Structure 1
Amino acid sequence: MEGVKVEAIPPSSLCSVCTGIFNGKWQPQLRGWKRAIKRPGAPPDPFNPEPAFGTAYDHGMEPFVHGKGAPPTLSYPHHTVEELRASGASCALCQTVVLAFDALHPRNDIITDYMEGRKPYGVAVWGREEVKGAKGYVFVYTERGKTSRLVFRYHVYKDWAANRNMDVNPTVGEREGNVKDVMLDMHDGDSDVSKKENKHLIAWMDRGTSIERVAQFLNETSDFARDLPKSLVRELPTRLLYLMPGPSGPTVRLIDGANSSLDIDTPYIALSHSWGNTMPIQLVTSRLSEFPNGIAFQHLPATFRDAAALTLELGVSYLWIDSLCIIQDSASDWLHEAQRMASVYTFSHLTIAASASKNPATGLSPSPRPRTVIVRPTWTGYIQEWGLQPGQTLRITNPWHQEFGNAIVSAPLNRRGWTFQEYALSPRVLHCTDGEWWWNGIGDGIYRETSTDAIRFFTGPGSVSWPDKLAFFNMERRRRTHTPDAWLWDRLAAQYNQRALTKRKDKLVAFGAVAQIFGRVTGLPVDTPGEYAAGTWRSLLPFGLHWAVGENAERYVMRPGAEDEGYVIPSWSWASIDGLVRFHDGSSLRGTREEQCKGMPRVVDVQVVTEGGPFGPVRGGFIILHGPIFRIRADKKARDHKELGFYRGFTVLRSDGSEAWKGDGQGFSLDSWKSRLDEWADDREMYLMIADCDAEDRYGDAFAILLESVEVGLKGKGVFRRIGSTRFSFHGVGLLMKDVRQDGNEALRDGEYIDFNSTTGFYTYKII
C-alpha cells in the first residue's frame, strides 16, 4: 500500500443522526462556559470555549437549561441508550458509544483492586435500570492545546429535567450524581503528519490491512523458539484440524498429528476461547470415526468458523481447538491431553484469543472493527473552530479501549482459569477484542490495530493481574530486574487464583502446563518425583507456604460435584483457596539461600498423591516441617473490624494451660471466607506456626500460619490442618520460647507433635 494518502482512508459508516453531527449547520452553544472552572456570570474565556452542538428542539426531549440561565443545549435524537444500541448495528459511532456503556471499568485501578482483595475485572459502568431510563444529548468541547472531545451525555433519571433546580451544582447547573458521560477523543487534521498523535493511523494504513500487519508481526518474530526452554521437546499435538479453502467455506478434517506424515516443524494455530454454558459441537467417542472424514463448516459455531477462516488467511492449514481435538467423554484422553498443554501452546505458531467472546457462538470480534471512527465533516463550524480543511479527516477514538488493561485484562476470556496458561505459555498471541485486535509476543511491546506505537502495559515481575511473559521465559530478564524465582512464581499463582473454574478437580490441572514450563525455564528438577507438589516447588520451599487470603476477596465458590469426589488439595497449598491470595515473600529478596530461609521452619518431607503425573489432579498430600509452633487462644471479640479482616488479641499458652505471652491487636485472616464474616462464638484455641520472622531474639515482625489439630486417632499424632494466617509483631522466637519454657513447661503437649528437639524447643509436625 505504498503511497497511501489520507484521502484513501475510507470514512466509517454512520447513521443519518450521527452524520448530522458532522454535516449539519449547527451553531455552537454555551460559548465561554467552562465546566468546573467557569463560574456563572463570569466573562467568556476565548481560549477555553466549550461549544455544545444539538440538532433542534423538536426531537421529543426537553432541552437542558443551565441552572443560572446559561444558554440551553439542544437535544440529541438518540436520546435513549436503547435507541443508540439499536442503531449500533449499522453505525460505527453509535456502536463505539454502546461499547463504552457495556464495558467493565475498574473500581479503582488494578494494583489497588489487588491490594484490597478484589478481582481486577471491574464493574459495569451503568446498571440495567439506569440504561433503561437514561436520556441524553451530545456536545463537543475543546481545550487549548488538548485533544477535543465528543461527549455523549446521559441523565440516568427520567425526571432529570423537572428536578434540575433541586440539588443543583451551581457551577455546572446539573443535579449531582445523575450525569453519565461517554467521552470520545477527536483528532483533527490527520493529513498534518507533523502531529505525532495524528501520524499513526496513516502509518498503519501504509503497512497494509490488519491481516497483513499480523502476518508481518509473525514474520518479524519467527525466531521465538530461541526463548523456549531447550529441555522441552517439540512435538505436534495429538490431533489437529486440517483446513482447506473452498468456495462455500473451508473444509475441516480431524487428523492424527502424532502419527501423520507431517513434519515436526509444521506450523499450527491454537484457539483460546471460553466455553460458556454450552458447547454446540464436541469430539466425543461416538464421533471419533466421523470427524476425520470431515466436519461441516456450517455446523461449527461462529468463533470456530472465524478462527478457521483467519488461520487460512494467515497462510496456515492446521488449527487446534480443545473441544474438537480432545475426546471430551474420555477421562483417560482428557487427562493425557491435559498433561501435554505445555507443548501445545508453547510451540504454536500463534494463539488466537477470542477475548471478547463469552461463548463459541459470538464470533472472534462481536463488534465492528476498528474502533477508530473516520469522518470528514462538511459542517462549517468544524472548519471555523479548528481550522479544518474541507474533506479533511476527523478521527474519533474511544480512549478507554486504548488501554490494554481495559480491553484485554478485563475481557470475558481472561476470567476463566483454563485460559491463563493459554496466554502465559503462547509465545505469540492475537487478542480479538470488541472493536479492535491486539497482538504481542515474548517482549514488552503490545500492538493494536490503530497504533504503530507499542503499548507498555505494566506486566513486570510485580504485576498482580497479568503474567510477565518476558520474565517467564527469560532468565536473563529476571537477573537484570533482580526478580527471584520464588517471587515470580508467587505472582503467577496469585494471578491464576483470581480466575474461575467449573470443576474443583481441575484447579491444579489447569495450572500444570504453566508449572511445567516455569520449572524447565528456571532449571528446577521437573522430572524428579516429588519436586512439584500441589502448586509449589520443593526447591522453593518454604516460600510457597507464605500466602494469605486477600481481604474482600470476591471468590468463586466451587461446590464439589460428583466428579470432584476423592480429589483433595492439601490445606497448606494456595490452590486449596477459591479466590485471591497474597504472598508474604519479602524474604525472597535477601541475598543467599541461608539468609532467605533464616527464621523459617525446615522442610522435612513433602508428599502429594496425583493422578496421571505430577501435574495431574491432586488426591491428597502432606508436608512435614520442623520449627517453632505454639498453642494459642484467640480472643472472642475483635478489637477492630476493618475490611472484613479481624484484628484480635491472642495469648500464647504453655503446655499446662497457663499464659506465657499476650499479643494485642493482631490481624487474623481465616482461609474460610464465611468464618471471616461471622463473629467467633468463644475464645478460640488454635495453633500458631511461625513461618517467617525478622529476628530470633529482638523485636520484629512475623508471618505465621494458623492451624487446627486433626483428631489423633484419625491421622496419627502431630497432624494439623491449615485454617488461616496472621501478621504480628513480637520480641522474637528466642525470647518467646524462653517465656513458654518456664517451670518445666513446653509449647505443646504430648500427642500434639511427631518429634521434639529438647535443646531448641522446636517440634516436628505434619500439615495435611
Structure 2
Amino acid sequence: MADSIPTSTLCDVCTGIFAGRWGPQLRGWKRAIKRPNAPPDPFNPEPAFGTAYDHGMEPYVHRNGAPPTLSYPHHSVEDLRKSGASCALCQTVVLSLDALHPRNNISMDYMEGRKPYGVAAWAKEEIAKAKGYVFIYTEKKNKTSRLIFRYHVYADWAANRNMDVNPIVGEREGNVKDISLDIHADENLDLSKEDNKHYIDWMDQGSTIERVHRFLNETSDFAKDLPKSLVRELPTRLLYLTAGTPDPTVRLIDGANVSLDVNTPYIALSHSWGNTMPIQLIASRLAEFTSGIAFSDLPTTFRDAAALTLELGVSYLWIDSLCIIQDSASDWLHEAQRMASVYAFSHLTIAASASKNPTTGLSPSPRPRTVIVRPTWTGFIQEWGLQPGQTLRITNPWYEEFDNTIVSSPLNRRGWTYQEYALSPRVLHCTDGEWWWNTISDGIYRETSTNPTRFFTGPGSITWPDKLSFFNIDKRRGTHTPDIWFWDYLASQYNQRALTKRKDKLVAFGAVAQLFGQINGLPVDKPGEYVAGAWRSYLPFGLHWSTGENAERHVSQPGSEDEEYVIPSWSWASIDGLVRFHDGKSLKETREEQTEGMPRLVDVNVVTEGGPFGPVKSGYIILHGPIFRIRVAKKPRDHKENGFYRGFRVLRSDGTEAWKHDGQAFSLDTWKGRLDEWVDDREMYFMIGYFEKDDGYGSGFAILLDLVRNAANEKGVFRRIGSTRFYFDGLTKLISDVRQDGNEALRDGEFVDFDPKTGFYTYKIV
C-alpha cells in the first residue's frame, strides 16, 4: 500500500536533500568542542549532514579522518517565501519563520502578566536575506530524527575568530538560528487502515471533513452536560444557506420563525474583527439582508465558514456582525446578553483561530499537515533500515502543541472570543498549522494524528479555560476545586484579553457569568446578585486580588466614549491585565471558616445599562471590619515587578505611631508615570481583607485605599489603589496598640459608622 501514498510537491532544492544530490556523509560527524581541528569525542558522536564553516561555524570532523564537508545549501529566506507557494516543505519552514512564540512559555507569559499570545522569534532585519543550510540529525530511537534548517541571519558577516562571541563553538552569538522539523520513518504504512487516511495528501481536506463529521455524530448528546435552567432557543437571527452554482445563496432569517424547530442545528463563527469589517448588519440594510446577501460581498473568512457549514450538512450559520444590528444600541445589548444560549446550543463553533480579520480566511496559509517524501538517497534508506519505496513523513513539532497553535493564536488575544470558546460545547479550531477539534472533555483531536492530545491545565489554571470543569461540577469536585476559586481563575484568564471598546469589558464576560451562575446554583436572576464581575453570594471573596506585571488600572480620558462607564475600583475588571486572587481560604469546608477574619458585607450596589450583565456605569460596596490609617515611605523597587518596598507605620487618631512594619512590598494598581507624583512620605488606608490568626503571629492580606472627597461630603468613602500581603502578631494586639490613651484607628469623617466594642468601622469603597 505504500506505493499508493502520493508524495508532496517539493522544489528542486528540497528534492535534492532526499536525492543525495550533494553526497553528504551521514555517520560519525562531531562538532569540534574546543578548537578547530580538535579530535572528535568517540563517546558522544553527533551525526550531522555537514556544516557551514565558511560562515563562521566550526567544521565537523569525521572520526575516520575524512575531510569535513559543507552542509546542504538551501534557499535564502527571500527565495524561500517565493518557493513556498508551490513547495510543501518550503511552506512549512516559512510558517515556522512567521510563527509567534511565547517569550518563555505560555504559562510563564501568563504568570508574568503578559497577554496570552507570543512574539515574533525572528526580527525582520535578521531574516530578510539570510542564507540557509540544512542538517539532518539522526536519532534511531523511535525512528524519529530532526531536519534542521539553519540560517545565518546576517548574510554579509564573515568569520573572524578573534571577534567571535563564542569562539569555542565557532559561531557568533545571535548570528545563527535554527528551524527544526521532525522526520518520521513509516514502516509498512497501510492506507487501508482508517487511522492512516489523514496521510493521503497534505493539501486535501477530504479525510479531515470525514473525521469532523464523525466527531459531531459521536458527541451529539452534548446537551446533557448543559444546565437544565438554560432554556434552549434559537438565535434571534440566522443566516440561511443553500448550495448553488457557482456560489451558495445567503439570506438573513428570523430565528424565532415558528416554521423552525427549536432543535434546528446551526453553526456559530468565532472570529476577530480586526481593524475593519467589510460588511455588517445595520438597521437600514435589514430588509436587504432578508432578501439575500451576495456571496461575493462576504469577506473570505465568512465565505469559508459558509462553505464549511454546508459541507458539514448544516444550513444555518450565526455570525455576530451579520446577525446583530450593529447601529442599534438596544438590539446590541439584548443580543449580547443572549450569548450564553447562542454558543451553548450551537451544533458547532468554527473558530477562525489564525485569522486576524475577516478578509484572511479560515486558514490564511496552506496547512502543513504532513510532508511525505520517498527518498532515493541510499543514506536515508541505510540509516533507518527502510525498504526501497518506503516513505518519510516530515512534520513541524511547533504545530503539534495546542498551546502554540491555539492558545497563542490571534483569535485568542481578543476579549469577546473568550466566551465563544469557553461556552461552546464543541469547537473546530482552524489554524495555519492544521485543524483541531474538541468538546466538553480534556481530549483534543487534530488532523495529523488520530490520538487525542491531552491539554488539561486543570481548573486552577490561568492559561486556558477548562471546559470540562466549567460544565461538569462533579469533575471539579473530584479535583477539590471550590466554585469561588474556579470563578476567580476564569476572571484571571479573561482579563488579559484586549477589547476595542472599554464599556464592553464586563459585557463580553457576561455570558460566562450567566452560565457559570446557572451551573453552580447561584440566584442569577435575583437583583444585586451579580455585581461588576463579582457574586454577592461569594463576597467578600472576589475583593482579594492583586495586579500582575504589566497590569494597569484603566483611567477614562475626559470626553472619551467610555467616560460615563466606570467600573468600581474594588472590581478586578477595573484592571487591564493579569490579576491574581488570594483565595486560599476558599478551601475551608464551611462558609464560616472561609470568611473568618474577613470584613462583613453590609451592602453592594452597581449601576448597569440594560441588565446585570450590561455595561457598568458606577458602583460601591459597603463593608464593616478592621481598617487603619498608615504612613508609607517611598522606596521604589523594580517597576517591572509592579511593586515597591515600603516601610509603613500604623497611626493612631492623634497621629502617633502604633506599630511599624519594615521592608514591605506594596503592589499598586496604577503606577506607570505616577510614582513621581507621590511624596516621599504619604498617608493611605490599610483595609485588612483577611488574616490567619486573631491572637498570634500570621499572615494577612490588605487592600490599600485612598480617601475620596466628594461634593456630597459623604463620610468614609474610599477608592482602592493597591494591595499587599503582610505578617503581624494578630488583629487583637494591633487594635489594642492603636487604642492606647483613648485613641482609635480613624478620625472623624473617615468612616460611616463605628463599633466601639470591637474597634471595627463601616466604610464605603467606590
Per-residue deviation, residues 457-500 of structure 1 (Å, max 9, x unmatched) = 13311111100000000111111110100100000000000000
Q: Tell me, yes or no, if the aligned pair for 2:482 and 2:587 is still in contact at 8 Å.
A: yes
Find the partner of 2:307 among 288, 301, 309.
309
Match of 2:668 in 1: 670
Q: Tell me, yes or no, if the aligned pair for 1:232 and 1:343 is still in contact at 8 Å.
A: yes
Q: Distance in 1 between matches of 2:688 and 2:241?
A: 58
Q: Tell me, yes or no, if the aligned pair for 2:629 and 2:746 is still in contact at 8 Å.
A: yes
Q: Distance in 1 between matches of 2:309 and 2:60?
A: 60
Match of 2:196 in 1: 202
Deviation, structure 1 residue 695? 1.0
Deviation, structure 1 residue 44? 6.5
Q: Distance in 2 between matches of 1:310 and 1:578?
A: 36
Q: Distance in 1 between matches of 2:540 and 2:634?
A: 31
1:164–1:294 distance in 2 versus 1, CA, 3 Å? farther
Q: Distance in 2 between matches of 1:634 and 1:134?
A: 54
In structure 2, what residue type is equivalent to 1:490? D
Larger mean Cα displacement after TM superposition, 604-613 or 12-21: 12-21
Q: What pairs with 1:526-605 in structure 2 (closer than 5 Å)?
A: 526-553=524-551, 562-605=560-603
Per-residue deviation, residues 43-91 of structure 1 (Å, max 9, x unmatched) = 464984523169xx9xxx9666526877555365544212112211221
Deviation, structure 1 residue 730? 1.1
Deviation, structure 1 residue 191? 2.4
Deviation, structure 1 residue 525? 0.5
Match of 2:90 in 1: 94
- Secondary structure, counterpart of 1:185 in structure 2: strand
Match of 2:691 in 1: 693
Deviation, structure 1 residue 28? 2.3
Q: Provide the alpha-carbon RMSD of the alignment.
A: 2.5
Per-residue deviation, residues 569-621 of structure 1 (Å, max 9, x unmatched) = 01100000111111111111112111111111111111111111110011111
Per-residue deviation, residues 190-235 of structure 1 (Å, max 9, x unmatched) = 42689xxxx9962645997100100100111000000001001000
- Secondary structure, counterpart of 2:661 in structure 1: strand
Unaligned stretches of 5+ residues in structure 1: none
Q: Tell me, yes or no, if the aligned pair for 2:32 and 2:38 is still in contact at 8 Å.
A: no
Match of 2:21 in 1: 25
In structure 1, what residue type is equivalent to 2:356? K
Q: Tell me, yes or no, if the aligned pair for 1:62 and 1:75 is still in contact at 8 Å.
A: no
2:151 maps to 1:154:
yes
Deviation, structure 1 residue 318? 0.2
In structure 1, what residue type is equivalent to 2:113? G
Q: Tell me, yes or no, if the aligned pair for 2:73 and 2:134 is still in contact at 8 Å.
A: no
Deviation, structure 1 residue 133? 4.2
Deviation, structure 1 residue 369? 2.2
Q: Distance in 1 between matches of 2:97 and 2:194?
A: 27
Deviation, structure 1 residue 188? 1.1
Deviation, structure 1 residue 158? 2.7
1:27–1:620 distance in 2 versus 1, CA, 3 Å? same
Q: Distance in 2 between matches of 1:677 and 1:415?
A: 30
Match of 1:647 in 2: 645
Find the partner of 1:145 among 141, 144, 152.
141
Q: Tell me, yes or no, if the aligned pair for 1:653 and 1:661 is still in contact at 8 Å.
A: yes
Q: Tell me, yes or no, if the aligned pair for 1:418 and 1:511 is still in contact at 8 Å.
A: yes
Match of 1:185 in 2: 182
Match of 1:396 in 2: 394
1:287–1:405 distance in 2 versus 1, CA, 3 Å? same
Q: Tell me, yes or no, if the aligned pair for 2:629 and 2:652 is still in contact at 8 Å.
A: yes
- Secondary structure, counterpart of 1:290 in structure 2: helix
Deviation, structure 1 residue 171? 5.0
Unaligned stretches of 5+ residues in structure 2: none
Match of 1:84 in 2: 80
Q: Tell me, yes or no, if the aligned pair for 1:645 and 1:676 is still in contact at 8 Å.
A: no
1:677–1:309 distance in 2 versus 1, CA, 3 Å? farther
In structure 1, what residue type is equivalent to 2:460? G
Deviation, structure 1 residue 161? 3.2
Per-residue deviation, residues 9-65 of structure 1 (Å, max 9, x unmatched) = 3222222211121123332247423459798633464984523169xx9xxx96665
Q: What pairs with 1:112-131 in structure 2 (closer than 5 Å)?
A: 112-131=108-127
Match of 1:354 in 2: 352
Deviation, structure 1 residue 551? 2.4
- Secondary structure, counterpart of 2:742 in structure 1: coil
Q: Tell me, yes or no, if the aligned pair for 2:375 and 2:392 is still in contact at 8 Å.
A: yes
Q: Tell me, yes or no, if the aligned pair for 1:65 and 1:73 is still in contact at 8 Å.
A: no
Per-residue deviation, residues 678-735 of structure 1 (Å, max 9, x unmatched) = 5733212110100011111111111110110110544611111111111111111111
Q: What pairs with 1:191-590 in structure 2 (closer than 5 Å)?
A: 191=188, 202=196, 204=198, 209-553=207-551, 562-590=560-588
Match of 2:8 in 1: 12
Match of 1:174 in 2: 171
Q: Tell me, yes or no, if the aligned pair for 2:567 and 2:616 is still in contact at 8 Å.
A: yes
Find the partner of 2:48 among 38, 46, 51.
51
Match of 1:632 in 2: 630
Deviation, structure 1 residue 415? 0.2
2:739 maps to 1:741:
yes
- Secondary structure, counterpart of 1:674 in structure 2: coil
- Secondary structure, counterpart of 1:563 in structure 2: coil
1:576–1:556 distance in 2 versus 1, CA, 3 Å? closer
Match of 2:759 in 1: 761
In structure 2, what residue type is equivalent to 1:189? D
In structure 1, what residue type is equivalent to 2:333? L
- Secondary structure, counterpart of 1:587 in structure 2: helix
Q: Distance in 2 between matches of 1:620 and 1:289?
A: 38
Q: Distance in 2 between matches of 1:728 and 1:200?
A: 60
1:555–1:416 distance in 2 versus 1, CA, 3 Å? farther
- Secondary structure, counterpart of 1:505 in structure 2: helix
- Secondary structure, counterpart of 1:277 in structure 2: coil
Q: Distance in 1 between matches of 2:556 and 2:749?
A: 35
In structure 1, what residue type is equivalent to 2:387? Q
Match of 1:66 in 2: 58
Q: Tell me, yes or no, if the aligned pair for 2:426 and 2:437 is still in contact at 8 Å.
A: yes
In structure 1, what residue type is equivalent to 2:342? V
Q: Distance in 1 between matches of 2:250 and 2:525?
A: 37
Q: Distance in 2 between matches of 1:767 and 1:322?
A: 37
- The percentage of aligned residue pairs carrying the same residue is 75
Per-residue deviation, residues 85-126 of structure 1 (Å, max 9, x unmatched) = 221122111111111111111122233223322234222111
Q: Distance in 1 between matches of 2:195 and 2:43?
A: 31
Per-residue deviation, residues 360-386 of structure 1 (Å, max 9, x unmatched) = 010001121243111111222211222
Per-residue deviation, residues 283-328 of structure 1 (Å, max 9, x unmatched) = 1111111011111111111100000000000000000000000111
- Secondary structure, counterpart of 1:289 in structure 2: helix
Q: Tell me, yes or no, if the aligned pair for 2:622 and 2:765 is still in contact at 8 Å.
A: yes
1:38–1:524 distance in 2 versus 1, CA, 3 Å? farther
1:248–1:165 distance in 2 versus 1, CA, 3 Å? farther
1:79–1:72 distance in 2 versus 1, CA, 3 Å? farther
Aligned length: 755
Q: Distance in 1 between matches of 2:556 and 2:466?
A: 28
1:36–1:228 distance in 2 versus 1, CA, 3 Å? farther
Q: Distance in 2 between matches of 1:561 and 1:572?
A: 24
TM-score normalised by structure 2 residue count = 0.94
1:260–1:284 distance in 2 versus 1, CA, 3 Å? farther
